[in-house]
Amino acid sequence: MAESWANSGSRRAGGSDLYLDLGGTGSVRARLMGALREVIQSGRLAPGTRLPPYRALALDLGIARNTVAQAYAELAEEGWLTARQGSGTSVARRAAPLETGPAHGPVRRTPRRVLYDLAPSSPDAAAFPRGVWLTSARRALAAAPTEAFGVGDPRGRIELRQALADYLARARGVRAEPGRIVVCAGFASALRLLRQVLEGAIAVESYGLDFHRSILSEAGPATVPLTVDADGARVDELSATDACAVLLTPAHQYPTGGPLRPERRAAVVDWARAMGAIVLEDDYDGEFRYDRDPVGAVQGLDPDHVVYLSSASKSLSPALRLGWMVLPGRLVERVVEAKGPRETWSGVVDQLTLADFLSSGSHERHLRRMRKIYRRRRDQLTATLARQAPHIRVSGIAAGLHAVLDLPPGTEEAALRAARRLGLALDGLGAYRHPAGAMPPRDGLVIGYGTPPEHLFTTALDALCLALPAQPQTVEGR
């Protein structure tokens, strides 16, 4: 291994020759960090100077790239470096050269920075179809009647409700008509409206989003958790509750990743019919199934007892703030009344644009393209783990924009701390567990593979593998 760049010739960083002395004692990582601090303090690396990618620096120095990745991450945490997705790693603007004179005290630590975003639930923002969306916007605005820009229908624009009825029937097996569809500002908005019209306790899956549980508890009793296993929610437990409704993610349980099995789909509909209850079907990523064709919506089994809920957040962008409900007829007017002032309605221009985007076939073309991208990323995730961490299992079906990595018991918190040190944003499975659930805790990481830009995805997976617990050592002869 080369001890310094000076011994192995001139190298470039930010367009200037830079020599790093890795002499001294201690680990290679500690010596590299010390050398980088020294060139920043001395002014040889000015604030804003971009550093080499850690793979290139590792090759130049003859050291492991993981060592460079850890050194960069720790120096960013200390405030010496800054790192942003798509911009690489640079010397921090506040990292001024060391001045002579009295000491200025210890280096101030700054909050940890996110180098790689593997948090779940978001699509690839760079893949938003700007050009095609703009074409739909122009076409929709040109065709829109004058009354579209006056006081509108709280159910949403008829153009969008008609386009949604056609698309959902074809692609998701939803039995819909425009009069039963209400457009809203995303899934959370829909949930708040439904909470206002449903009287009584609402059952939820024992693993799910805590802010959804909070919404359902704001104006009513606490939510009732249902056990989740590999076959989805244990809907047989509903008979022992006084719930008036149940919130489910049947196509792809969030976050554990299993589908609701056919017999349970039928059973929950039977329960709703017998009890006069409502099933709230969260179809958040039902279009993204990679091992087979997507499974149709539960709503198709009984439109009078199932509310179908979805949005544009996963298929297009959460920035659009567009969601929709397909409601049983008896709930439509009550939900519209609960909608209240016009200021809470979704924007007309985005509604008209999405209507054209759906009707023109652009939406389905976009989905076909994104399925290929996300399937490739999921396959890359599983292949990387098979090479670098074969003891870590990916659970759940091949679908959606996230995967769960099962961890050995008692290792989740340590893995999360290691991830933060490496600049990784991701979630632990424990954060999704219902506080009143009877299920034993399960250790795992929830990894989103939709968010990172394409050029950083491989690097993000390498960093992820560094954060995972090591394979347990086996005792010879046992």
The DSSP secondary structure of 353-390, one letter per residue, reads HHHHHHHTTHHHHHHHHHHHHHHHHHHHHHHHHHHH-T
* pTM for this entry: 0.77
Same domain? 306 vs 392:
no
The strand pairing partners of 309, in sequence order, are 282, 325
Q: For tokens 């080369």, what's the residue?
A: 2
Q: Which residue has the higher pLDDT, 43 or 29?
A: 29
Count the domains in the chain.
3
Residue 229 scores a pLDDT above 80: yes
**8 is written with which tokens?**
């192995």
Mean pLDDT of 91-118: 55
Q: What's the pLDDT score for residue 473? A: 64
Local confidence band at 18 (pLDDT 50, 70, 90 cut-offs): low
Identify the weakest region by mean pLDDT among 106-110, 264-268, 468-472: 106-110
Give the tens place of pLDDT for each residue, 197-206: 999 999 999 9
Do you know the residue count of the chain?
A: 478
Answer whether residue 313 is part of any domain. yes
Residue 104 scores a pLDDT above 50: no
Query: Which amino acid does the sequence have at 68?
Result: V
Same domain? 225 vs 81:
no
- As a whole number of angstroms, the distance between CA 336 and CA 345 comes to 11
Answer whether residue 475 is part of any domain. no
Contact 297, 173 (CB under 8 A): yes
In 3D space, the residue among 250, 253, 288 whose CA is nearest the CA of residue 269 turns out to be 250
Residue 318 scores a pLDDT above 90: yes
- As a whole number of angstroms, the distance between CA 199 and CA 235 comes to 20
Q: What's the pLDDT score for residue 474? A: 56
Q: Which residue has the higher pLDDT, 22 or 165?
A: 165
The H-assigned helical ranges of 9-129 are: 28-41, 54-61, 65-78
Answer whether residue 121 is part of any domain. no
Identify the weakest region by mean pLDDT among 173-187, 342-356, 385-399, 455-469: 342-356
Same domain? 187 vs 86:
no
Give the tens place of pLDDT for each residue, 156-167: 999 999 999 999
Give the pairing type, strands 228-229 and 224-226. unpaired
Give the pairing type, strands 444-448 and 393-395. unpaired
Mean pLDDT of 50-74: 84
Let me know the angle formed at the C-alpha of 430 by 424 and 432, rounded to the nearest 5 degrees.
95
Same domain? 310 vs 249:
yes
Cα distance from N-terminal residue to C-terminal residue, the chain = 38
Q: What's the pLDDT score for residue 94? A: 57
Distance from CA of residue 254 to its chain's centroid? 11
Burial string for 94-121 (b: 16+ CB within 10 Å, else e) reads ebeeeeeeeeeeeeeeeeebbbbbbbbb
Same domain? 265 vs 412:
no
Query: Which amino acid does the sequence have at 201?
Result: A
Identify the weakest region by mean pLDDT among 84-98, 269-283, 418-432, 444-458: 84-98
Contact 405, 291 (CB under 8 A): no
448 is in which domain, residue-wise? 365-467
Residue 117, phi then psi, degrees to nearest 5:
-95, 105
Same domain? 208 vs 281:
yes
Q: Which residue has the higher pLDDT, 77 or 222?
A: 222
Cis-peptide into 255, omega within 30 deg: yes
Helix (H, G, I), strand (E, B), or coil: what is residue 314?
A: coil
| Domain end marker among 315, 346, 361 | 361
Same domain? 381 vs 438:
yes
Mean pLDDT of 329-335: 96
Give the tens place of pLDDT for each residue, 439-475: 888 999 999 999 888 888 999 999 999 999 988 765 4
Q: What's the pLDDT score for residue 41? A: 78
- What average pLDDT does the structure give for the chain? 87
CB neighbours of residue 160 within 10 Å: 28
Contact 326, 308 (CB under 8 A): yes
Same domain? 98 vs 151:
no
Same domain? 105 vs 30:
yes
- As a whole number of angstroms, the distance between CA 357 and CA 135 comes to 9
**453 is written with which tokens?**
């830009």
